[in-house]
Amino acid sequence: MKTDAQMDYQAEHNRMIRRARLKKISSAIFTLLGYAVIIIIFITPFLYVIGNSVRNSQQIWANAYPISWRSFIPYEGLTLENYSQSLGIGDVAKGMSFDISRNLGISLLSSVAVVCLSLIFNTSAAYFFGRLRFPGKNYILIFVVATMMIPQQVVLVPLYIVADQIGLINSFWAMVVPWYASPFIVFLLTQFMADLPLEFDEAAIIDGANLWQILWRVVIPNTIPGLITVSLMEFQFIWNEFYWPLIAISDSKLFPVQVAVASQFTESGPNWGIVFAAMALASAPVILLFLFLQRYFYESVAMSGIKG
């Protein structure tokens, strides 16, 4: 038979277990609510664009106010014609002279070109800062990183003057050459490469490898997740770039897709269904690219880049 002290201890123990369970359940509920709020904040605009991209302008305005679930989820008169019209297929698009297929191609080519050049120049710079010994290297890296603090708007005028002097204005290369090197990408890759043990380089040198061979055969294979991550970030930055192309490009045939969509907002007003479809198409490449490469993105966050 249990004594009063034992019974009191058992009751207190049970209360502690219940409090711990209640605290755990409350924490899980608050966590789920936090995730739900974040999802709603980010998903709601996307749902609004997708939902209105399969409606005509009359249905869009009919459901615009008051805001309800009907504003986001289409329930009648669904059509994919807006997508074909945004790609220049159809009488409405021809009358509007609206065709973003060429603009999508320009955005894709410029983004891929910048990513390729970025991998060459930024990887070389990061290898210098992260793996090589050189007097004053850290001061140079501080100077490179400090340029990240300068707002883009501050350098647009001198950048435009330089680009104009070398004949880049109103050309495809105006969207490529100014962005081939990025201090932010150099900084990130430097961290990835600095995490690799220097013994890797020493072992390669003993085997007769030079600096170029160490970079290609030792460093790059062990920083693949980091390289893919920065490539994804660079691609997204160039794809979404709007301010500089708006200034540097005046020929509508050379507009990237973001500028081409924005050019439809005139005094007469756009065809909203077609514009929403164009917005959805402009968002699709970056979303699909992230979905395919998200494994490498998470690996770069969770690990230092060291293999095996």
CATH of domain 101-302: 1.10.3720.10
At 192 the pLDDT is 85
Nearest-5° Cα angle at 173, 167 to 179 = 110
Helix residue spans in the chain (DSSP H)? 4-53, 57-62, 69-72, 81-86, 91-96, 101-131, 137-146, 152-165, 183-194, 198-206, 211-214, 224-240, 243-248, 257-262, 272-302
Q: Is residue 71 within 8 Å of 63, Cβ to Cβ?
A: yes
pLDDT score, position 108: 93
Residue 299 CB contacts under 8 Å (≥ 6 apart), including other chains: 225
* Token pair for 68: 């309800």
Mean pLDDT by 10 residues, the chain (308 residues): 61 76 86 89 86 81 76 77 80 68 91 92 90 84 86 87 91 91 88 84 84 86 86 90 90 89 73 85 87 73 48
Q: Is the pTM of this model over 0.85?
A: no
What pLDDT, on a 0 to 100 scale, did the predictor assign at position 308? 39
* Residue 99 zone, left/alpha/beta (φ > 0; ψ -120 to 50; rest): beta
Domain spans of the chain?
4-79, 101-302
DSSP characters over 53-88:
HTS-HHHHHHTTSS--HHHHS--SS--SHHHHHHTT
Q: What pLDDT score was predicted for residue 5?
A: 63
Collapsing DSSP states into helix, strand and coil, what is residue 50? Answer: helix
φ, ψ of residue 196 to 5 degrees: the values are -70, 135
